[in-house]
Structures are given as structure tokens and as C-alpha cells.
């Protein structure tokens, strides 16, 4: 295998390795399959274009998280232009409570969705989220608290 083919194969393996993580984070923010699809491709195209160097796999993962969130922000900045959402653009989850939570998450302020996902799904601590998103720990804590409050109110119970 020549040098160029090796590079492409390595990038393909990175796509497969982080596909679920990137897609879930994208969907967590935009809550639409078609938009998550667009963000997914954009993230990996940026990965190829920028070809960043990483000191560890955690570093690579953090970079992909940052870029996914940045791409989702771009989506929000142009979302006002969209006035229709395809009917089959949503997931139908297995359990009723999961579909109910999905509805609630659609109403949650977009800026809180990423911290909720990184904390509750990716398992990052508050300080780690601060580092990944380049924001203060206190800001993460505040966003998490406000997100929990909004969710508690909508779910009518403690979370």
C-alpha cells in the first residue's frame, strides 16, 4: 500500500471508529436525522481538510467533539431559513419514555443540549467538558444546572 493509500485508509478507520460518537452528538443537538447526516459528513471532511496532529486518542476525540459542536452551531445560525421538517426525520425509540424524553429535548434550549450529552452520555466530568469546549468550569456547571431545571420542569420531576 502506498503512502497516500495508507493515509486514506487511516482516515477511513477514524470515520468508522468515531462514527457513532459524532453522529449521536450531532443528533443530540439538532434532533433531526437529515441535519445530523449533514453535520456528520462536514465534521469528517473538516478532519480530512485540516489533518490535525493529536497527542492521544482522547485528544482526537476532543477535537471531533469540538468540531461537531461548531458545525451544529452553524446549523443553528441558518436554521431560521428552514420552515419545514420531513415527517420521517425523527427517530421512533423503543420505549414510550424514550420518545417522551426526545420530545422534551427538542424543547430544551440548544445551548444546553451539548453539555447534557457530554455529561450524561459521553461520561465527561464538568472540568473535562470545560476543557473540551474551552469554556470555564463554572459556565459548564451553570449550563448543566439550568438544563436540569428546564428538563425537570418539562418532565415534571427531578432528574
User: Minimum distance from CB of 48 to other proteins (Å)?
Assistant: 5
| Residue 89 binding other proteins, by CB under 8 A | no
Pick the piece of the chain touching other proteins (CB under 8 A) from 6-14, 78-86, 107-115, 138-146: 6-14
**Axis-axis angle for helices 33-50, 3-30 (nearest 10):** 140
Burial of 3: CB neighbours in 10 Å, binned 0-12, 13-18, 19+:
exposed
| Residue 1 binding other proteins, by CB under 8 A | no
Return the residue of 12, 79, 85, 109 that touches other proteins, per CB under 8 A: 12
Interface map 35-64 toward other proteins (x if CB under 8 A): -xx--xx--xxx-xxxxxx-xxxxx-xxx-
Interface map 122-151 toward other proteins (x if CB under 8 A): xxxxxxx--xx-x----------------x
CA distance 107 to 34: 19
| Residue 70 binding other proteins, by CB under 8 A | yes
DSSP assigned state of 79 = G
CA distance 140 to 133: 9
CA distance 114 to 124: 11
CA distance 76 to 73: 5
| Residue 8 binding other proteins, by CB under 8 A | yes
CA distance 39 to 17: 17
| Residue 121 binding other proteins, by CB under 8 A | yes
Cell readout for 145 is 444546572
Residues of this chain that interact with other proteins (CB under 8 A) are 3-4, 7-8, 11-12, 15-17, 19-20, 22-24, 27-28, 36-37, 40-41, 44-46, 48-53, 55-59, 61-63, 67, 70, 74, 91, 93-95, 97-98, 101-102, 116-117, 120-128, 131-132, 134, 151, 155, 159
Amino acid at each position: 500500500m502506498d503512502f497516500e493509500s495508507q493515509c486514506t485508509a487511516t482516515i477511513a478507520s477514524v470515520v468508522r471508529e468515531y462514527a457513532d460518537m459524532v453522529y449521536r452528538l450531532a443528533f443530540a443537538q439538532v434532533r433531526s436525522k437529515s441535519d445530523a447526516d449533514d453535520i456528520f459528513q462536514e465534521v469528517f471532511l473538516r478532519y480530512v481538510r485540516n489533518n490535525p496532529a493529536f497527542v492521544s486518542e482522547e485528544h482526537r476525540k476532543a477535537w471531533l467533539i469540538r468540531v461537531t459542536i461548531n458545525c451544529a452551531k452553524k446549523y443553528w445560525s441558518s436554521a431560521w431559513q428552514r420552515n419545514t421538517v420531513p415527517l420521517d426525520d425523527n427517530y421512533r425509540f423503543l420505549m414510550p419514555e424514550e420518545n417522551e424524553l426526545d420530545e422534551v429535548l427538542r424543547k430544551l434550549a440548544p445551548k444546553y443540549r451539548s453539555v447534557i450529552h457530554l455529561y450524561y452520555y459521553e461520561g465527561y466530568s464538568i472540568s473535562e467538558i470545560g476543557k473540551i469546549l474551552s469554556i470555564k468550569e463554572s459556565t459548564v456547571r451553570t449550563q448543566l444546572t439550568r438544563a436540569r431545571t428546564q428538563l425537570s420542569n418539562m418532565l415534571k420531576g427531578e432528574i
